[in-house]
Structure 1
Amino acid sequence: MESIVGSNTGDVITKVLCNVLVIPENASFMTPQKIAFPTDYNLYYTYPILRTLTELLRITNADLQIFNVVQVNIPLTDEQEKNKDYLKDYLDETFPKSHSFHSVHNQDVKSSILNFVNDNQIDMLTMVAKNLNFLQQILFDTTIEKLSFHTTIPMLVLHE
């Protein structure tokens, strides 16, 4: 069993307050065409986060696929809906044709992310470090056995 990132990379992601691009050792260079942005919509996306996403999409011309793992019978809170609407409005205005929103119904967030990445041929994963509980669940849970993407696709961790 192994985690998605090593302890040194994990320390940099969680303790250094700047954006971090994690490039796996076995990755081949390519400009990403599809970027996944998993979110639980618990964060308000601030200008620094949106500016970095905007620059990333402008440079790569990639499609941004925002997705949320929906827990069965647990609707989004009013705050989550507000954050989702704000993100959607921003992307509709800035990149109207190069983003999409997805909901995956599953109890297991980690497996859902892994499956989404594999099923949609994602080239890069982007996450916000401020949501450390969500991020740490995904990065540091050593019970994840199927980690087919951790050796091949880069991950951009955004800080404000």
Structure 2
Amino acid sequence: METKNMNILLPTDFSDNSWSAIVYALKLYANEPCTFYILNSAHLKVSAMSDMSNKIVKVMKDNAIKELLELKNLAENANANANHEFETILSLEDLKTGIQKAVEKYAIDLVVMGTKGATGAKEVFFGSNTVRIIKKMRKCPVLIIPEDYDFVKPEQIAFPTDFNRFYGQVELQPLKDLAALYNSEIRIVHINAETKLNEVQEYNISSLQSYLEDFEHSFHWMPDYSKKAVEINDFIEELKIDVLAMVNYKHSFIESIVNEPVIKTIGFSPKVPFLVIPD
């Protein structure tokens, strides 16, 4: 069977953090045919534009194009895979719009990005750009790579759920695609808020089992603490998890994170890559 060529979008602001995310993506898909689209947003606010001549704007665009090409060369040289192709995209819109347009135009399967850009504060896990992307991305999954994270084969993938929500083929496909790369085990983690599951939860468990029957998977019950973030970091450590995967639906844990006015108050900073699957 012919392997599908993956289209992967790599947003960059030329920071070390975004380069680490690119390196992770190259290693994750080392054995897969892929086209990597490296995207930079050279967006200027209208107020700034009116004060500048077209000449300055042109210089900024030229600089961004030059940096993109340098980054492309760097990626090609860091990567000896003949199955990989690289393209560059310069967007003159804000990053969120640039990403959304690229996802549609180039039939992107996955966006891989760092947690924060050049100006990210140390104590905040998600930078504001990352939060905006997670909130708005409804077309394809986003894989968020923690700062200074060295590639580890994703042998264990955690998928937390309270079993109250049914997951079908569409939501589970990105999880299965990721697990298929390295025959990863999918660990379904239930944060135990109740002593007994109801009929809906029982049904959703059996659906998950049937959808994941071709994959090694196991179910784990975690005690209910007061803070979900603490539990999630605990089982990442306890089960030696390499990637955390969650579906971003209304009132989900992810939505509660990205809607926090100051993200650090939740104290959520997983030490592993985080796959956000759109609803």
Same-fold call, TM cutoff 0.5:
yes
Matched, 1:28 2:150: yes
Q: Percent identity?
A: 36
One-letter code aligned to 1:10: V
* Cα distance change of structure 1 residues 133 and 146 upon mapping to structure 2, 3 Å threshold: closer
Question: Which range is displaced more, 55-64 or 4-13?
Answer: 4-13
Q: Of 103, 107, 126, which aligns to 2:221?
A: 103
Trace 1:1-160 onto structure 2 (pairs within 5 A). Answer: 2-17=123-138, 18-73=140-195, 75-91=196-212, 93-95=213-215, 98-108=216-226, 109-138=228-257, 140=260, 141-145=263-267, 147=269, 150=270, 152-160=271-279
1:85: Cα distance to partner? 1.5
* Cα distance change of structure 1 residues 131 and 43 upon mapping to structure 2, 3 Å threshold: farther
Measured in 2, the distance between the counterparts of 1:37 and 1:130 equals: 14
1:123: Cα distance to partner? 0.8
Question: Which range is displaced more, 134-143 or 3-12?
Answer: 134-143
Measured in 1, the distance between the counterparts of 2:136 and 2:251 equals: 11
Measured in 1, the distance between the counterparts of 2:124 and 2:207 equals: 33
One-letter code aligned to 2:223: H
- What SS class does the counterpart of residue 206 from structure 2 fall into? helix
1:105: Cα distance to partner? 1.5
One-letter code aligned to 1:100: S
Q: Could you tell me which runs of 5 or more consecutive residues in structure 1 were left unpaired when the two chains were aligned.
A: none
Q: RCO (CA 8 Å, sep 6+): is it higher in 1 or 2? A: 1
Q: Could you tell me which runs of 5 or more consecutive residues in structure 2 were left unpaired when the two chains were aligned.
A: 1-121
RMSD: 2.2
User: For the Cα contact (< 8 Å) 2:125–2:268, is it kept in 1?
Assistant: no
Measured in 1, the distance between the counterparts of 2:236 and 2:155 equals: 13
Measured in 2, the distance between the counterparts of 1:72 and 1:64 equals: 23
Q: Highest Rg: 1 or 2?
A: 2
Instruction: Give TM-score, length-normalised by structure 2.
Output: 0.50
State how many pairs are aligned: 153
